[in-house]
A and B are shown apart, each in its own frame.
Chain A
Amino acid sequence: EPEVTQTPSHQVTQMGQEVILRCVPISNHLYFYWYRQILGQKVEFLVSFYNNEISEKSEIFDDQFSVERPDGSNFTLKIRSTKLEDSAMYFCASTKGTQPQHFGDGTRLSIL
């Protein structure tokens, strides 16, 4: 069964540094999402992306965040200047255009 893949599995970064999280959605999927989960808390929506533009974003997704689909397969989340509170598990998800959403294994981001 096709899966959403995410790299790296764990990223450790100094506060203030830029970080890019990468995702390869399922190949025939059209809608892409980023969610985050702070340790012990619920999964929170960050942003959705369709047809090369942002469809919706949450209050968390401020000017420090950006998303991109640089080619036909990758979907990236960039945090420009990381803060301690950005430490979380970041999940990418995708869907064909009808629910459900399929989640990747996540990237654990640790900000020091």
Chain B
Amino acid sequence: GENVEQHPSTLSVQEGDSAVIKCTYSDSASNYFPWYKQELGKRPQLIIDIRSNVGEKKDQRIAVTLNKTAKHFSLHITETQPEDSAVYFCAATVTDSWGKLQFGAGTQVVVTP
């Protein structure tokens, strides 16, 4: 089955700097890759997603890139703010319609003022 590896496990950045989180996946059939942000004790919230037919997607300060050949995808947060502090999870699925999500282990991001 699909296996998703995520790095780093923790990331400390100064406010205003950029943060990059990387994930690799094992199943070349995977075709949908969401990123979720989870604040302490709360639900995972989708922040951005990408399908396998595109290489990059951007939404304001957040961008995701996908390299299908290398089977990795990355989350980029620019101009970080304290409210970006949270745990970020990448995920992958082989069915971009309804399939189960296979999550990475998560990255604890701490943005210091």
Partner-B contacts on A (CB < 8 A): 30-31, 33, 35, 41-45, 48, 50, 55-56, 58, 91, 95, 97-106
Contact partner of B103 (CB less than 8 A), chosen from A30, A42, A56, A105, is A42
Complex CA–CA separation, A39 to B41 (angstroms)? 10
Pairwise interchain contact A42-B34, C-beta atoms closer than 8 A: no
Q: A43, B103: Cβ atoms under 8 Å?
A: yes
Show 27 A/B contacts (Cβ-Cβ < 8 Å), sorted by A.
Answer: A31-B98, A35-B101, A41-B105, A43-B44, A43-B89, A43-B91, A43-B103, A45-B100, A45-B101, A48-B98, A50-B98, A56-B99, A56-B100, A91-B43, A97-B97, A98-B96, A99-B93, A99-B97, A99-B99, A100-B34, A100-B46, A101-B34, A101-B46, A103-B36, A103-B43, A103-B44, A103-B45
CB distance from B59 to the nearest CB of A (A): 13
Task: Report the Cα distance A33→B92, complex, angstroms.
Answer: 15
Instruction: Tell me, yes or no, whether B102 is within 8 Å of chain A by CB.
Output: yes
Leading 9 A-B pairs by shortest Cβ distance: A45-B100, A31-B98, A43-B103, A103-B43, A42-B103, A42-B105, A100-B46, A105-B43, A103-B44
